[in-house]
Amino acid sequence: MQITTPYFILEQADEVTEEIKKSRFITYLAPTKGRSAAETFVREIKAKHADARHNCWAFVAGRPEDGQQYGFSDDGEPSGTAGKPMLNCLIGSGMGELTVVVTRYYGGIKLGTGGLVRAYSGGLQELLKRVSKVECLIYTEVTLTCDYSQISTIENLFSVYNGKILHTDYGTDVAMQLEIDARCCDEFITALTNKTNGQVIAKIAE
pLDDT in tens, 13-71: 999 999 999 999 999 999 999 999 999 999 999 999 999 999 999 999 999 999 999 99
Give 78's contacts (C-beta < 8 A, 6+ positions apart): 113, 116
pLDDT one-digit tens code per residue, 69-97: 999 999 999 999 999 999 999 999 999 99
The pLDDT assigned to 162 comes to 81
Q: Residue 158 falls within a domain, yes or no?
A: yes
DSSP string of 32-72, one letter each residue: --SHHHHHHHHHHHHHHTTTSSEEEEEEE-SSTT-GGGEEE
What range does the domain containing 131 cover? Answer: 7-135
Q: Are residues 89 and 150 in the same domain?
A: no
Q: Which domain-ending residue is among 135, 152, 172?
A: 135
Residues 156 and 98 in one domain: no
Amino acid at 56: C
- Please check whether residues 38 and 130 belong to one and the same domain: yes
Nearest-angstrom CA–CA distance, 161 and 140: 11
The beta-carbon contacts of 190-195 under 8 Å, at least 24 apart in sequence, are: 191/157, 191/160, 191/161, 192/144, 192/154, 192/157, 195/153, 195/157
The pTM (predicted TM-score) of the whole model is 0.80
Rounded CA separation 186/106 (Å): 56
Q: How far is CA 131 from CA 14, 76, 124, 141, in A?
A: 7, 29, 10, 31
Give me the CATH number covering residue 79. Answer: 3.30.230.30
